[in-house]
A and B are shown apart, each in its own frame.
Chain A
């Protein structure tokens, strides 16, 4: 399954990932967030170059979601900064948000809008001209199997359908960077496979995907680089092989490596 219409215009389709010049897709420096007494994110540094598939792994409460929410401009950091495509999220929020799509784990839609109306609204927020947005909405709705229900209010949708519509909303403005929080929760096997294919295809076209997940298999199979986050800090980062080397067990599964790295004090 290939993704309709997503194209990073400045990278030819047959290009092998070129050495990165210009700004990284995402750069995070010293990001810190406290909630009352607990430190959710503690001076986190992270760089994800353009065109990479990056997975953020971590136990519950490690600070993954908090980090992503600060990157997407949903949460003000106490210290540190995040840059999306070189634009500071704090100082130039509009420029930083324009190339970015953020999909929270819980699909938040408007119960009393239809799928078409929802997509029109999202496209309008990102300033996509209607002539470009309408055919793209049709492609996405057909591709995600929502065409038959496109005029129904989203309150009648199942959870999987809602998730697919939220995904369509993320893709309608052709973002260069996609941030997904647990994107596969609640999807059936076929839909999950479809989304995985979509994300891989999307990265191959020169775009960037950053996702959090609990499912090791996704990180292991899809991600080019894996970051492991624990207690609000990045404790390890690298390809699967690099992480194995670090843990000293070259035959280890990601699960074993993960558990070992996370348990280090």
Chain B
């Protein structure tokens, strides 16, 4: 392999991508997991194909093509999100663009290797579906489904290219610095939206199906012969490619390759110019006139103001905190119905419990930022303000906004059901306090940008687990006791005991961590 060639650079890229993938899990476990997943999917798809009794000896009927096409359309945003995510990683988070751009390699080679490596990562992910589909096809006597492989390749190339175009389009639109934030936020939002979309069937378990049927009927003319989405339409080409239709396959693959080539060839300039701007472009410029005026503020107000400014000016961190809330939404669906064994829950009490959980989780995210994300630890440690006071202020900075946000729903609740309102207020106070304290006792100092990444999130695994459990316990207490389930009075003592255990176990670790890192937080 020639040094400096596209293949050589691509190998380097793929090695880094592999390290990303195996950073959290040993390769052996990963292989085991992959085999188990593939075997399971083989079985499931085999059963499905046998049940459908499709005749795939010739070209598939249009209904099958249309359903496959719709499934592909539903899956593509997933691939695109992944593409955007990887683009952000390879362009902004890995931090090697300066090294590559300063090397004598051609910009085109650099850019092509990036597109191909993102596509490679996507292809590997797509294989999770493609391998069992093709395998089940072979088992049920439908070798045409081998088209899953080239289709996965084409999808990977397309999603990688579009992901990069979106990311770099943002660079052109907003400038490199803000584009980085915007694409990170976009990837987070897209991930959250996907997660929510996956919950839709849950949310609309009952009423929805009839409405959906009516809606589909209205759309039917579109799918008729000669309609915009009729059997002859080009939109079905990728779906036909799945069944090894030669023309469809050729068009899909060539289209994807052309898109990838175009992405690599035309957009490297955008990035190169944008990438250099990143260092120098000022983000905001207020009027330069006027002297310096400081308002009289106590240390308390100064610290709170500083923490809130730093959070509000960091949309990426905010989006990550809100994303944590999105991941709690499925509970919103499950909780009001209640698991069968404990009887059904009262809807209001369920929502009150949800409020407590959300508040606890939100405080945890904010505490992670104000405590773990402190940038000038040495400055605070050298200041003539006692450490305990600064820690209290930091906790207040995380707690106050959440309490303020919870005030309105709490007031509504108390107005409707005073007793439940009181219970919720007490639980919310305890849940937020215990979450904040536990985070404080389990410091995981990291760069602010890395705070919400799994790898950035160190700290003690046991403490992390307890931390995730606490909001559930407090919220469950409100939900179940509010619904008249007396057994749930066991939950608060458990939560308090866990918090106490965290205090006994955590501070020593915290002290040890402080000494070991020697305060060199930003660099570790």
Contact = CB atoms under 8 A, between A and B. Distances in A.
A73 B377 CA distance: 12
A67 B518 CA distance: 12
Contacts of B306: 110, 113, 117, 121
Nearest to A132: B294
A191 interface: no
Contacts of B461: none
Interface in A129-148: 129-130, 133-135, 137-138, 141, 148
**Of A100, A119, A124, A138, most B-chain CB atoms within 10 Å:** A124
A154 B519 CA distance: 21
B296 A74 contact: no
Contacts of A111: 375, 448
A258 B492 CA distance: 65
B296 A129 contact: yes
Tell me the interface secondary structure of chain B in the complex. loop
A217 B25 CA distance: 51
A41 to B, nearest CB: 12
A35 B516 CA distance: 8
A69 B294 contact: no
Contact of B299 (A98, A109, A113, A124): A124
A116 interface: yes
B454 interface: no
Contact of B283 (A116, A135, A137, A155): A155
B381 A73 contact: yes
B432 to A, nearest CB: 25
A121 to B, nearest CB: 5
Given A134-B292, A151-B285, A112 B382 contact: no
Contacts of A123: 294
B285 A152 contact: yes
A73 B383 CA distance: 9
A242 B283 CA distance: 53
Contacts of A169: 379
Interface string A96-127: 01101110101011111100110111111111
Contacts of B205: none
Interface residues of B, number: 44
A113 B310 CA distance: 7
Contacts of B287: 151
A126 B520 CA distance: 22
Contacts of A156: 280-283
Nearest to B377: A108
A106 B280 CA distance: 20
B380 interface: yes
Contact of A125 (B296, B383, B448): B383
A141 B375 CA distance: 22
A196 interface: no
Interface string A34-76: 0100000000000000000000000000000010010011111
Contacts of A100: 382
Given A113-B309, A151-B285, A141 B384 contact: no
Given A106-B522, A108-B377, A112-B309, A127 B297 contact: no
A105 B522 CA distance: 13
B459 to A, nearest CB: 21
A151 B286 contact: yes
A108 to B, nearest CB: 4
A124 B297 contact: yes
B518 A75 contact: yes
B302 A97 contact: no
Given A100-B382, A127-B384, A153-B313, A108 B293 contact: no
Nearest to B312: A112
Contacts of B379: 108, 122, 125, 169
A117 B306 CA distance: 8
A192 B518 CA distance: 27
B511 to A, nearest CB: 8
A130 B292 CA distance: 10
B450 interface: no
Interface in A230-244: none
**Of B281, B283, B293, B298, most A-chain CB atoms within 10 Å:** B293
Interface in B297-320: 297-299, 302, 306, 309-310, 313-314
B41 to A, nearest CB: 45
Interface in B250-304: 280-288, 291-299, 302
Given A76-B515, A113-B310, A155-B283, A130 B382 contact: no
A134 B293 contact: yes
Contacts of B380: 125
A94 B384 contact: yes
B375 A108 contact: yes
B51 interface: no
A25 B147 CA distance: 79
Contacts of A108: 375-379, 522
Given A120-B294, A151-B288, A156-B283, A125 B385 contact: yes
A137 B518 CA distance: 30
B386 A106 contact: no
Given A69-B518, A130-B297, A150-B292, A74 B309 contact: no
Given A97-B384, A109-B376, A153-B313, A124 B283 contact: no
A95 interface: yes
B523 interface: yes
Given A75-B518, A110-B375, A153-B283, 10 more contacts: A66-B518, A74-B519, A95-B384, A100-B382, A106-B523, A112-B313, A121-B302, A127-B299, A129-B296, A153-B313
13 contacts: A75-B519, A76-B515, A97-B384, A98-B384, A101-B382, A109-B376, A110-B375, A117-B306, A126-B383, A127-B299, A134-B291, A141-B292, A156-B282
Interface of A: 35, 66, 69, 72-76, 93-95, 97-98, 100-102, 104, 106, 108-113, 116-117, 119-127, 129-130, 133-135, 137-138, 141, 148-153, 155-156, 169
Interface of B: 280-288, 291-299, 302, 306, 309-310, 313-314, 375-386, 448, 515-516, 518-520, 522-523
